[in-house]
Amino acid sequence: MKVLVLGAGQLARMMALAGAPLSITISAYDVNTDTLVHPLTQQQLGSGLAQALEAADVVTAEFEHIPLAILEQCQASGKFLPGASAIRAGGDRRVEKALLASAGVANAAYQVINNQADFEKAVSRLGLPLIFKSALAGYDGKGQWRLKEAAQTASVWQQMADFLAADSSQAIVAEQFIGFQREVSLVGARSRTGEVKVYPLTENHHVNGVLSVSLARPVDHALQHQAEQMFAAVAEQLDYVGVLAIEFFDVAGQLLVNEIAPRVHNSGHWTQQGADCCQFANHLRAVCGLPLGSTALVRPTLMVNILGEDEVPNAILNIPALGLHWYGKTKRAGRKMGHINLSANSTAELKAQFAKLIDQLPASAFPELEQMLHQL
Amino acid sequence: MKVLVLGAGQLARMMALAGAPLSITISAYDVNTDTLVHPLTQQQLGSGLAQALEAADVVTAEFEHIPLAILEQCQASGKFLPGASAIRAGGDRRVEKALLASAGVANAAYQVINNQADFEKAVSRLGLPLIFKSALAGYDGKGQWRLKEAAQTASVWQQMADFLAADSSQAIVAEQFIGFQREVSLVGARSRTGEVKVYPLTENHHVNGVLSVSLARPVDHALQHQAEQMFAAVAEQLDYVGVLAIEFFDVAGQLLVNEIAPRVHNSGHWTQQGADCCQFANHLRAVCGLPLGSTALVRPTLMVNILGEDEVPNAILNIPALGLHWYGKTKRAGRKMGHINLSANSTAELKAQFAKLIDQLPASAFPELEQMLHQL
């Protein structure tokens, strides 16, 4: 099978690595340069989307911030999975919020803001504190504002007004602030035949709005069930095919959807080592019409992102059940350069191994790992 | 790191897949065509060995039947690991037998045959039955003769005489026939600093001289210890760096070395799923000077070779902890096209899963699996 992936980053790269053993070859379409590349070698394979679509058996995406014209062209090919509307639901917070409402899954109350009247309505209807997120291309803490006290109202609105004035395609979504205990995510797959398999809930720790650590360990059954029900509702609403990730706020055991990602997800990288079939293989199995692989937890596993660094001490490779995954990218401050997976036979053992790993990583490049260790 | 691999087959391909996450890029030199290719995409990257050696940080090999001139050119680069003499020990049975003698490890008594006088000496000194193997390029049952009864002596010698006359570089090694209970192999790695880590002994089942199934399960400690001692003796004798495989005959608990393979080995493919660090990653770690990864058995795992077939029923992908690995090769009768790895939490569970797998595979393409199941 030949699979065309929109986007040529690390997710396409890891799909290529997972696809090769299944005889699934991946080419990656760089939306910005209109070129087709091999996601592992970055060798240029051609240019132009029409030809790429023609040559592919299946088309999918590694990210959701994709121009509408490209999504429509892919959709018209009849080969696009999970398809344009699912990608748009991940890429446009207005669409996403409407989807969550129609799927009937709990999420923060919200108000779409296109102008000052909308803004004032949001403040009066939802109350403070409020969090505002740009409708398009807002992720990892970018395009977000907070309004905690009434005194800040004018200045916060001015920033948002400038933002809206600069781009007519944009809107802002105001959300009630959720006082959550922790953030968890559920990564799972839905097949062409509607079969759903989900991995265990993953606990996620962010630093400055960017994912730092994901942890998968045996999980509370009731919470897992709750997440699975919501996952199935969203996936069915979208008639989804492929891997889907849903981020939740855990508010005293009640899950609220924060956002969805219609793709393989950073919080699912641990599946390369902690599950029989990783999210990349399962995404390809789903979109190619193959049976889904097992998503059961094989052993407790955590993942640490490597941000803005292109080396780590080689000595960490002495730790058993440690996998180091570089993405082959050029170093840039804050950039996702790679990740480390670490597994153990029990949570206690994982904690001990994590402590050894932390000892060997420079704290400046890996902040707050100690705090995360103590939560284990 | 840039690693050049002599040979562009499935072993180089699986090295490329294991190396990418470690930021180790592999290019493969096709000894027959003098071209350099990417082992995954088969994209041609250049031609000529001198340039390829110049561009590489490390040179290694995926097979041992390599012309001496090429081995010498690689050795002269100062980058070749495990190096020309180790590769020759795997590629020339005369050198191999001399190595085993100097390492002091048990193996079948032998006699090198260059002419009829040598042949007669072998028969009188070693006695019947005898097995004869070509010194060069004999593997998977090719270039082998057997002499069971004295009445066959003249006809067997005539075949061997014709063989020797056809190629002056050849010789034949006569070996005492070993009445072994089973064939096992030990795959392990030795680092640049002399550290040795070995995987558990693997039980191997051949059909018509070609490996069909390898099985790794918790192993008898005394036997494992015996194999490890012999492994260390051979690896030290060669000052070996990289993954080395040793095939043994198990004669009532006493191991005799059958042959060595100075490379990653078909009987180690199960490590992709049954160990934390697979043989391909460990080979690259060793030759690149990185710490060796864990070789402990994570769970019982077996491997089934796919020979001469380019498809298997998709339904096998429903079996949990099953990994399907295609090599991207064109179908040819008997050719190694891919393999299936299967893991379980216990040997009993593995047996049950293996039975399910056998039910779904066509018996014509996968002969004798039932017999192997009963030995589990």
How confident is the model at residue B138, as a pLDDT?
A: 55
Percent of chain A with pLDDT over 90: 95
HSE-up (13 A, CA, CB side) for residue A268: 31
Question: What was the pLDDT predicted at B181?
Answer: 87
Q: Which residue has the tokens 């050894």?
A: A356
In a shared domain, residues A370 and A280: yes
**How many CB atoms are located within 10 Å of the residue B11 CB?**
27
Residues A140-194 pLDDT 10s: 556 899 999 999 999 999 999 999 999 999 999 999 999 988 999 999 999 999 9
Are B214 and B358 in the same domain? yes
A92 lies in some domain: no
Closest CB from B21, B318, B324 relative to A325: B21
Residue A84 reports pLDDT greater than 60: yes
Contact A321 B17 (CB under 8 A): no
Q: Considering chain B, what is the average pLDDT of its residues? A: 96
- Domain housing A115: 109-176
CB nearest A290 (choices: B43, B317, B328): B317
State how far the Cα of B374 lies from the Cα of B376, in Å rounded to an integer.
Answer: 5
What would the pLDDT profile of B187-214 be if each residue is shown by its tens digit? 999 999 999 999 999 999 999 889 999 9
Look-up: residue for tokens 């393409």? B365
Residues A122 and A58 occupy one common structural domain: no
Residue A88 lies in a domain: no
Number of domains in chain B: 3
Higher pLDDT, residue B374 or B305: B305
Please state the rounded mean pLDDT for residues A76-95.
Answer: 97
Q: So what's the pLDDT on residue A376?
A: 84
**B350 and B369, same domain (yes or no):** yes
Same domain, B130 and B197: no
Same domain for B227 and B285, yes or no, is: yes
* pLDDT for residue A64 is more than 80: yes
Residues of B in contact with A296 (CB under 8 A): 320
**Is the residue at B100 inside a domain?**
no
pLDDT at position A138 is 55
Q: Is residue A101 in some structural domain?
A: no
In the three-class reduction of DSSP (H, G, I as helix; E, B as strand; rest coil), residue A53 is classed as helix
In a domain, B99, yes or no: no
| Mean pLDDT (whole number) for B86-104 | 96
Does residue B116 form part of some domain?
yes
Q: Using CB atoms within 10 Å of the CB of residue A32, give its burial: 0 to 12 exposed, 13 to 18 middle, 19+ buried.
A: exposed
Question: pLDDT per residue over A213-252, tens digit each?
Answer: 999 999 999 999 999 999 999 999 999 999 999 999 999 9
Whether the Cβ atoms of residue A165 and residue A125 lie closer than 8 Å to each other: no
DSSP A339: E
Note the pLDDT of residue B141.
53
CATH code of the domain in which B114 resides: 3.30.1490.20
Q: What is the separation, in whole angstroms, between the first and last Cα of chain B? A: 41
Q: Cβ contact (<8 Å) for B290 and A317?
A: yes
State the CATH number of the domain containing residue A292.
3.30.470.20
pLDDT of B139 over the 70 cut: no
Are A189 and A196 in contact by the 8 Å Cβ rule? The answer is yes
The predicted-structure confidence for A194-206, as pLDDT tens digits, reads as follows: 999 999 999 999 9
Asked if residue A358 and residue A280 are part of one domain, the reply reads yes
Residue of B75, B71, B113 lying closest to B93 (CA atoms): B113
Of B80, B96, B119, the one marking the end of a domain is B80
Q: How confident is the model over B213-247, as pLDDT tens digits?
A: 999 999 999 999 999 999 999 999 999 999 999 99
Note whether A275 and A260 are within 8 A (CB): no
Cα–Cα distance, A141 to A119 (Å, whole number)? 20
* A324 pLDDT higher than 80: yes
pLDDT band, residue B99 (cuts 50/70/90): very high
- Mean pLDDT for the stretch of residues B93-100: 97
**Each residue of A120-145: pLDDT tens digit?**
999 999 999 999 999 997 545 568 99
Residues of chain B contacting A290 with CB distance shorter than 8 Å: 314, 317
Which of A133-137, A185-189, B287-291, B306-310 has the lowest average pLDDT?
A133-137
Is B138 part of any known ligand binding site?
A: yes
Query: Predicted confidence band at A110 (pLDDT cuts at 50, 70, 90)?
Result: very high
Domain shared by B37 and B153, yes or no: no
Q: Are residues B127 and B206 in the same domain?
A: no
pLDDT given for residue B124 in this prediction: 96
**Is A328 in Cβ contact with B314 (below 8 Å)?**
no
Classify residue B102: in a domain, yes or no. no
The residue out of A128, A150, A176 marking a domain boundary is A176
Peptide bond into B129 cis (omega under 30): yes
CATH number at residue A25: 3.40.50.20
Q: Which residues of A touch B44 (CB under 8 A)?
A: none
Q: B242: which 2 tokens?
A: 């990289």
> Are A198 and A324 members of one domain?
yes
| DSSP label of B218 | -
In the stretch 27-46 of chain B, residues with CB closer than 8 A to chain A read: 38, 40-41, 43
Does B211 reside within a domain? yes
Among A10, A13, A22, A329, pick the best mutation site for testing chain B contact (most B Cβ within 10 A): A22
Q: What is the rounded CA–CA span in Å between residue B43 and residue A282?
A: 27
The answer to whether residues A273 and A336 belong to one domain is yes
Has residue B6 got a pLDDT over 90?
yes
- Scanning every residue of chain B, which has its alpha carbon at the shortest distance from the alpha carbon of A277? B321
Tens of pLDDT, residues B343-375: 999 999 999 999 999 999 999 999 999 988 998
Boundary (domain end) residue, out of B149, B176, B203 = B176
The one-letter amino acid at A135? A
Instruction: Please tell me whether residues A316 and A240 are part of one structural domain.
Output: yes
Tell me the per-residue pLDDT of B44-85, one tens digit each, with 9 for 90 and over: 999 999 999 999 999 999 999 999 999 999 999 999 999 999
Q: Across chain A, what does the average pLDDT equal?
A: 96
A231 is in an annotated binding site: no
What is the average per-residue pLDDT within B161-177?
Answer: 94
Whether B186 contacts B227, CB under 8 Å: yes
What ipTM was predicted for this assembly?
0.95
pLDDT at position B376, please?
84
B245 near B260, Cβ under 8 Å?
A: yes
A62, pLDDT greater than 90: yes
CA–CA min distance B14, chain A (Å):
9
Burial of A331 per CB tally in 10 Å (0-12, 13-18, 19+): exposed
Whole-number percent of chain B with pLDDT over 70: 99
C-beta neighbour count of A169 within 10 angstroms: 9
**8-state DSSP, B310:** S
